[in-house]
Structure 1
Amino acid sequence: MPSTKTTPPFKREHIMTKKTLAVAAVITAALSAPTMAADWFIGGGIGSQENNYKAEITEAVDPGFSKGTFKDSDSDMIYELRGGVYLNDNNRVYGTYSYNSDDFAKQQSFLMSYDYLVGLDANNKFNWFIGATAGVNHVSPDTDVLESKNRFVWGGQTGFMYKINDSLSTEIGYRYLKQDYERSFASDAGDKASFSLDDSQQVYLSVDYRF
């Protein structure tokens, strides 16, 4: 039967502090950006996502098991839809829905992001961007032993954006997401273990339509 893992109060406070700071950073950066003529956009992209997992056997009763920590990484395709607004030439905010499935779990993410853009040419057609992200990730492990859960995620992204014309732009980016999925469980024989998704890294290519 699965067992519930109790998080110490001091650890819960530390986790909540990180979550609050991540969300506050995205909101503050977006609200502090000077607003001029805004360009709304919608788009989509594809790429690759690497997920880093950790399993730990904390108590082994069955002779076939032994205590220890095991780490593994798995990579697969990521698909995303997004929409947002360019507040001006240097600031944008947007929301992203993404889907990823690997050998261990399926993930659906709902993220809010802020980027600061730096023009690399005289016409601001080619830009470098860097920003922060926070949101919710729904993790669905491919086993009945582990439960599907919504978990907070936060991180940042960077990359390059090219404005093809007034309506179309494309970009290549890298995003790091700190995950918050961890479950503990026990077998009928008394073996105890935990499973966690520590973080994810994404490399993506997207195309956006401005209006």
Structure 2
Amino acid sequence: MPEQPSASAAGSEAPWVPEPDFDAALIEEAAKKSGLVWLSPAGLSEEAAKGPDRSGPQAVWHVWHDGAVTVVAGGAEQPLPVWAVPGRVVEIGMRSKESGGRVISWLSQVELVVPGTPDWGAAAAALHAERLNLAEGDDYQRRWARESAILRMRPLGGAVPPEGGSEAARPVPTPATTLGRMPKMIGGVPKAKTRTQAPAQPKERRKGRK
């Protein structure tokens, strides 16, 4: 009979430690690598989701802050669909920055970050660090508190299995624009000149007189 391990040997083995949640790690990694996520309505019937104001998915820019997808919308900022309101459960799709293919989709309940709270100030600072084309001297905190909303979406659970399809959608009209004119080079980019050399002429030999 094979020998049984002694109690001392069994006690010396390292205790079993569960592995970290793979979906949660993948969500965080994908959110940090890409500045866009795609929002789709969740929990709506097929007929209700076909309306012009409920079509999805819609791309929005975000930052990953405090374990959540955090966005600022409304006013002069990006628009959000009417179903992406506090309390509504939405589906968030994340795509690879390199290939554009879907990496993972997950559900979240939209949460409003209340202005004037420490959470709001920290979220606004994180968004401001990644917000492009803000005018110099823009009092963004006062403006966002007055006319916009900061929303965050934490994962409710693991990944949602894809239903198929590319999820391609037309960009949503937005008042956001690039400040100022794009630089223009008069005459275009100068092209390198190629030198053409004339064929070498044979030198004439002069015969000297003896």
TM-score class normalised by the smaller sequence: under 0.3
TM-score, structure 1 normalization: 0.24
TM-score, structure 2 normalization: 0.25
Determine which structure has the larger helix proportion and give its number: 2
Higher relative contact order structure (alpha carbons within 8 Å, sequence separation ≥ 6): 1
Structure with greater Cα Rg: 2
